[in-house]
Chain A
Amino acid sequence: MLPVIESYGICKNFGTTSALDDISFTVNESEIFGFIGPDGSGKTTLFRILTTLMLPDKGNMKLLGMDNIIHYKELRENIGYMPGRFSLYQDLSVEENLNFYATVFGTTVDENYDLISDIYSHIEPFKKRLAGKLSGGMKQKLALSCALIHKPKILVLDEPTTGVDAISRSEFWQMLEKLKTHNITIIVSTPYMDEAMRCDRVALIQNGKILLIDRPEKISEGFSRKLFKVKASEKYKLIISLRKYSETITAWPFGDSVHLTLKKDKADDSLLVFLKKEGIPDPVIEEAKAGIEDRFLELMEKGSNE
């Protein structure tokens, strides 16, 4: 089966800034493919090229077997796009927005309602409310409904959960997972590492380059060292002290603990002795499994050292 998206050597420059550098990847049908990377990494630029809204400087791309430059008109009918920070007309109501999008794509709300009903049902009670007056979570659901109303084969979501609370984020991902059953291929970008775990495959992107593409579990498995978790009641003091320890390679705060890598991959008594001397009497040190964020930090540091 042919991949739904094929990208080869895509490059894009803005003046002297290289926004995208040799971006190559493929996406298969019904996959949820995630681009994980910080602001400025090139995700939005890539998505604009994917959705035929911007031309690359180099490289080529095929979506649904069609060249993205030659067949841009046909592709636009088959792509749903939810750009970063909402795409809604603030002074139109919920139902006016939805009707507008349906009309622009030459369809009606009724025709594809079954596709969006799960999502839209959350906001339907507010259908007369102006989009500008909706909460973040509701805007997100409306924007998603508008992106799906013409039943696209490919859905492109640029940071759909930024600025939204943890509960709404979780609900949103549940909705995306349901869309897979409709054979919709989903491309999504997010700065939230934990959302990477909900994708089928993930591309880590930084400074316009792809660092790695793989299944999320595989990405964390590739962490090159042993990882240690250290806990103590005074977190900041702990971080500063760990960084002073001669065997430390990296010490990063991670929620309620510090993730530590050591030169010899061994945490022994000398660490405990050191920390006691630093005024940290009872640290808890244990070996831990690296997560996707640990790997991303490792790759980022390697990238900046090259």
Chain B
Amino acid sequence: MFGNDNMNDKVIDVHDLVKKFGSFVANDNLNFEVYKGEIFGFLGANGAGKTTAIRILSGLSRPTSGEVKVAGFDAYKQTELIKKNIGYMCQKFSLYEDLTVKENIMLYGGIYGMKLALIKKRISELLERLSFQEYENSIISDLPLGLRQKLAFSVAVLHEPKIVFLDEPTGGVDPITRRQFWEMIYETAARGITVFVTTHYMDEAEYCDRISIMSEGKIVALDTPLALKKRYETETVEEVFIKIARPLKN
């Protein structure tokens, strides 16, 4: 949970965000705020507009209209500063497969503009925290998925950014590793790094401080998992999702 003194520290501030592709409205007047140290779950059916929103929040795309601030920076004019102050981990690509563990960390540390001494310090801290010392010189493609995911996450926060974006970080991973991964997320949030995560595992939605559910370009729900379950009278977040994430017209 995030501490009280962080309550008013907004790391993401979105007002009336609209993103259009031609006449197609991918993000339709989104309004939300995310605070320092929060674990924020960003849910929605495929095609709801999540990826579009995340790309704007990570400085990869500009809004059509509306106000968007990430880590205090403007999403229209300060995208490079946004990129420097965030971490990002997605399923399709995170680490270079033909480099070793150490080489990847060195590479990303350089990309983040970290000083060499600091990178070296973080390498040994990271390897110790994950009990990865024996893998320091292993090629990424030789490592099982669970290890790679944990490492990718650690690399995404190597530079201690204000926010880290995780796009379905635990897809296909075994149930033990999945839980260990979430403990890493908890630890990270406790250090004051905001975690913005999308997932299709509905039990993982329960680990979040607050979740939002998107449907057809709009946010249809935003609250704590407990509050949502009470409001929709369900036992699980999955049931809330099934109730509201698809329009009834079908």
Contacts and interface: CB of A to CB of B under 8 A. Distances in A.
Interface of A: 37-41, 135-137, 159, 162-170, 191-193, 206, 233-236, 239, 252-256, 293, 296-297, 300-301
Contacts of B126: none
Contact of A167 (B168, B174, B245): B245
Nearest to B209: A235
A165 B46 contact: yes
Given A40-B146, A239-B183, 9 more contacts: A38-B175, A39-B173, A136-B46, A163-B171, A165-B200, A167-B245, A236-B183, A255-B203, A256-B225
Given A165-B44, A167-B245, A301 B200 contact: no
Given A191-B174, A236-B183, A255-B206, A40 B44 contact: no
Given A168-B46, A236-B183, A300 B245 contact: no
Nearest to A252: B179
B145 interface: yes
B14 interface: no
Interface in B115-149: 144-146
B113 interface: no
Contacts of A159: 172
Contact of B45 (A40, A165, A234, A236): A165
B75 to A, nearest CB: 26
Contacts of A135: 46-47
Interface string B165-192: 0001001111111010011001100100
A236 B207 CA distance: 9
A166 B173 contact: no
A118 B121 CA distance: 58
B1 A38 contact: no
Nearest to A296: B175
Contacts, number: 96
B10 interface: no
Contacts of B236: 255
Contact of B173 (A38, A193, A297): A38
B175 A166 contact: no
Contacts of A293: 175
A37 B46 CA distance: 24
Given A39-B144, A166-B241, A297-B176, A137 B226 contact: no
Contacts of A40: 144-146
A295 to B, nearest CB: 10
B111 interface: no
B241 A206 contact: no
A183 B225 CA distance: 42
Contacts of A164: 46, 200
Nearest to A239: B183
Q: Nearest 6 A-B pairs (CB), nearest first?
A: A38-B174, A236-B186, A255-B206, A255-B203, A39-B145, A135-B47
Given A163-B200, A252-B179, A38 B172 contact: yes
Nearest to B238: A166
A39 B172 CA distance: 6
B242 interface: yes
B171 A301 contact: no
Given A191-B173, A256-B206, A165 B146 contact: no
A56 to B, nearest CB: 22
B174 A300 contact: yes
B226 A253 contact: no
B5 to A, nearest CB: 16
A41 B172 CA distance: 11
B153 to A, nearest CB: 16
